[in-house]
Amino acid sequence: MKMAARRYNIGYTGPVYYMIRFGYENLLRCRNTINRHSSVLQNYGGNVLGIGEVIDVLENGRGNYMWRENHCIVIYRFNHADEGQRWMDSAPEVNQSDWIDGADIVCFPAQETAIPPAGNGYILLTDMAPFEDVRYEVEYAGHVSNKLRELGGIPGLAYTPDVKHIRGLWNPGTITMHYFPNRETLDQIYSSEDYKNAKQVRTSTSQSDVVCFQLTPVKLPDPRFLNVEERHSQQIQDTTCTTTLDSSGPYDDQQFKQ
C-alpha cells in the first residue's frame, strides 16, 4: 500500500497536528496549561495524543543538533484545520512568546484514517531535508509501512512536507510520524536487515533527524468538577476567540512553503 504525502492546499480543512517541543524542566508547567485549557480544547474538537517525556535521538543526519534528549513533546490532534487555528487563538498562555521558555510550535496535516489508540505506544518521528518525493515513496515508505502493519503498528500518522512553523528554533522539512504499540516492535523494525536496506534509500535522498518517544497519556479534567473560579476563567477564554477565516481557509500554499 502506497503512503502518499498529505498536502495543504488552498482551502484545506482536514485534520492537523500541533506539536509543541520544550525542555524537560518545563514539563509540569506544560501539563498545568493543558489542564487549565481543557474545556477550550474540547470546545474545538481537539485531543491530546500524549506527551513524550523522554526523547531518544536515533539519528542526527541534518547536522544541526536540534534534538536533545532532555526535550519533551506534546502532540495535539484536531479533526479540522480551522478548529486547530481557533484553539491556538483562544489559548492565551500558548500565544505568549515566552510560554515555557519559548517552546517550539509547529503544525502539519494529519492522515485522516491513521489515528493511534489511547495508551502508552511509541512514536517514531523523522524530519527530512532535502527530499526526493518519488523515490522515497516507492523504495522506502511502502516497504516500511507494510512491515509496520504486519507487527501491529500504524504507519503514516503524518507524512507531509507542508509544515507550518509557528514559533521557536525548530523548523522541520518533511515530517513522517509512525505509531508502534511498544518499544520492542519499534526496535525490531529499526534494527532489522530489511529496514537497514530501506534506510539506505532514505539517507541517500535526504538528511534526516530521527527520534522516538513513548506517548504518556494525558487525562483531561472533567469541566463539571472545576471550581467556580476556574469555570469562570475558562468561560471567558472560550468567548474571546475573534478569528475570522477568509475564503482560502486558515492555511494557504505560501504559509507552508519551505
Reported as a single tens digit per residue, the pLDDT across 113-170 is: 888 877 789 999 999 887 666 777 777 777 778 888 888 889 889 988 889 999 998 9
Residue at 167 is within a domain: yes
Check if the beta carbon of residue 239 is closer than 8 Å to that of residue 1: no
Average pLDDT of 10-34? 88
Sign of CA dihedral 41, 31, 175, 188: negative
Place of cell 474571546: 240
Sign of CA dihedral 224, 228, 234, 239: positive
Residue at 169 is within a domain: yes
- For residue 42, how many other CB atoms are within 10 A of its CB? 15
Residue at 125 is within a domain: yes
User: What is the phi/psi pair of residue 78, to 5°?
Assistant: -125, 140
Check if the beta carbon of residue 181 is closer than 8 Å to that of residue 120: no
Residue at 130 is within a domain: yes
Selection from 141, 131, 136 nearest residue 258 by Cα: 131
Q: Coil, strand, or helix at residue 172?
A: coil
Is 195's pLDDT higher than 70? yes
How many CA atoms lie within 13 Å of 233's alpha carbon, on the beta-carbon side?
14
* Number of domains, the chain: 1
Stated as kind and residue range, the H or E segment containing 68 is none
Place of cell 525490531: 188
Average pLDDT of 32-46? 90
Residue at 209 is within a domain: yes
Is 98's pLDDT higher than 80? yes
pLDDT at 198: 77
DSSP calls for 52-65: EEEEEEEEETTSS-
- For residue 10, how many other CB atoms are within 10 A of its CB? 11
Q: How far from the centroid of its chain's Cα atoms is residue 82's Cα?
A: 16
At 123, which CATH number? 3.30.70.100
Task: For residue 149, give the C-alpha cell.
Answer: 502493519
With a CB cutoff of 8 Å and minimum separation 6, the contacts of 227 are none
Residue at 98 is within a domain: yes
202-231 pLDDT per residue, tens: 888 788 899 999 999 887 665 554 444 444
pLDDT at 238: 41
Sign of CA dihedral 135, 141, 146, 150: positive
pLDDT at 65: 66
Q: Which domain holds residue 159?
A: 16-238
Residue at 6 is within a domain: no
d(CA 256, CA 258): 6
How many CA atoms lie within 13 Å of 221's alpha carbon, on the beta-carbon side?
18
H helix runs in 24-139, sequence order: 27-36, 38-43, 81-90, 92-95, 133-136
pLDDT at 211: 95
Residue at 135 is within a domain: yes
Give the whole-number percent of the chain exceeding pLDDT 70.
Answer: 78
